Amino acid sequence: MREVWITAYEETQKYAGPEEEGRFYWTGIPMWSQTAFCHCQAGIIGPVLKHDDVCPVHHLVREAEAFIKGLTSGYLESYTSRDAEEPEHRGESIYRKHIVRVEDTVCQAYGLHPPEYE
C-alpha cells in the first residue's frame, strides 16, 4: 500500500519568445487534488492510469475526470483572433488543456517561468 495524489491540472502552452528560437513551453496549475492509499498491484504513477476497480485511486481518478469534463480546452481566442501579421509575444498563452495525473508527491505548479535555452 502506498500514498498517492490524484491531481487535475490546467496545462497552458505558452510562447517562449523569439530570443528562445520561437519555442513553446507548458505551464501547469493544479486545480483539484486528493490523496489516497493505493491498494492494488497494477497502479502506475504518471499520466497512464491503470488501477483496479476496487482501488480508491480508481474512483478518485473518475471524480477528477468528471471535474475537468466541462472545462474549455483548445486554442485560446486571444491567440486565434488577433492579426496574423502581429508578432507573437513572449509568455503569451496559446493553447489550454486539462489532464489528470496520479503522482507520488504533493502536486505543484510547474513551468511558471519561460525556460532559457542555450
Q: What is the pLDDT of residues 95-104, one digit of tens each?
A: 999 999 988 8
Tell me what the mean pLDDT of segment 36-60 comes to: 69
| Predicted local confidence at residue 70, as pLDDT | 85
54: phi > 0 → left, psi -120 to 50 → alpha, else beta; which? alpha
Q: Is the pLDDT of residue 116 over 50?
A: yes
pLDDT of residue 76: 83
Burial readout 4-20 (b: 16 or more C-beta within 10 A, e: otherwise): bbbbbbbbbbbbbeeeb
How far is CA 40 from each of CA 1, 46, 57, 64, 102, rounded to the nearest angstrom? 8, 15, 9, 19, 14
Per-residue pLDDT of 12-42, as tens digits, reads 998 887 776 778 889 999 999 999 888 776 5
